[in-house]
Amino acid sequence: GDSVTQTEGLVTVTEGLPVKLNCTYQTTYLTIAFFWYVQYLNEAPQVLLKSSTDNKRTEHQGFHATLHKSSSSFHLQKSSAQLSDSALYYCALSDHTGGNYKPTFGKGTSLVVHP
Amino acid sequence: EAGVTQSPRYAVLQEGQAVSFWCDPISGHDTLYWYQQPRDQGPQLLVYFRDEAVIDNSQLPSDRFSAVRPKGTNSTLKIQSAKQGDTATYLCASSFGGSNERLFFGHGTKLSVL
């Protein structure tokens, strides 16, 4: 089956500095989409980024990620972290072989941005 | 556009008690997912439906858990005899499976089994 690995459970960064959240995956399927979801305190997870194209940079709300199939990675980065970025971040992949989407999530990384 | 609605928001049970969770997906979304999210872990898929049909329930503990979506709209997840290990947040999500794979989540039901 599919699996998503987020190696850091907690990342802390000073406001204004760059941040990178790691995500690697294993999948036996060829037809896949990749996501980053963000979950703010007491809120539901919501999609932050989505990509299906190898080596193409995807950006949203100052965050960016590039899917690298050669290394099975989809790391999330931001050049200047803001206090409001503090949240839980989940990397996920969705295989849609046969027309049905089955998303698999990583364990999540808690990002804490401090002044 | 109304989002995914779940109820109740919280539930506290003794072991052995039963509980039901209800989910109303976004109108027009044909695919509905139930996830279990233990504390400090990511969402883990329990079951998902396309319209009223179960597509995958391989991770649903069938001896105590059941899920239905009889008309292809609302869904109910039931735990027949809760255990302490069931303590988690139960998230419902929906998507339009045809062309838009991203999930829209409800706020979840936080279950505590004492």
Q: What is the pLDDT of residues A5-62, one digit of tens each?
A: 999 999 999 999 999 999 999 987 766 789 999 999 988 899 999 998 999 999 999 9
Could you list the residue range(s) of the whole structural domain that residue B28 is in?
5-113
A99 and B41: CB-CB below 8 Å? no
Q: Is A70 exposed, middle or buried (0-12, 13-18, 19+ CB in 10 A)?
A: exposed
Q: Would you state the pLDDT for residue B36?
A: 96
CATH number of B51's domain: 2.60.40.10
**Rounded-to-integer distance, Cα A99 and Cα B29, Å:** 15
pLDDT tens-digit series, residues A84-93: 999 999 999 9
The CA distance from B32 to the nearest CA of chain A, in Å, is 10
The CA distance from A45 to the nearest CA of chain B, in Å, is 6
**Most confidently modeled range among A82-86, B39-43, B97-101:** A82-86
The CA distance from A68 to the nearest CA of chain B, in Å, is 20
**Rounded-to-integer distance, Cα A54 and Cα A74, Å:** 10
A101 and B42: CB-CB below 8 Å? no
Number of domains in chain B: 1
The CATH T-level fold of domain A3-96+103-114 is: Immunoglobulin-like (2.60.40)
- For residue A4, list chain B residues with Cβ-Cβ distance below 8 A: 42
Residue B46 in contact with partner chain A when CB distance is under 8 A: no
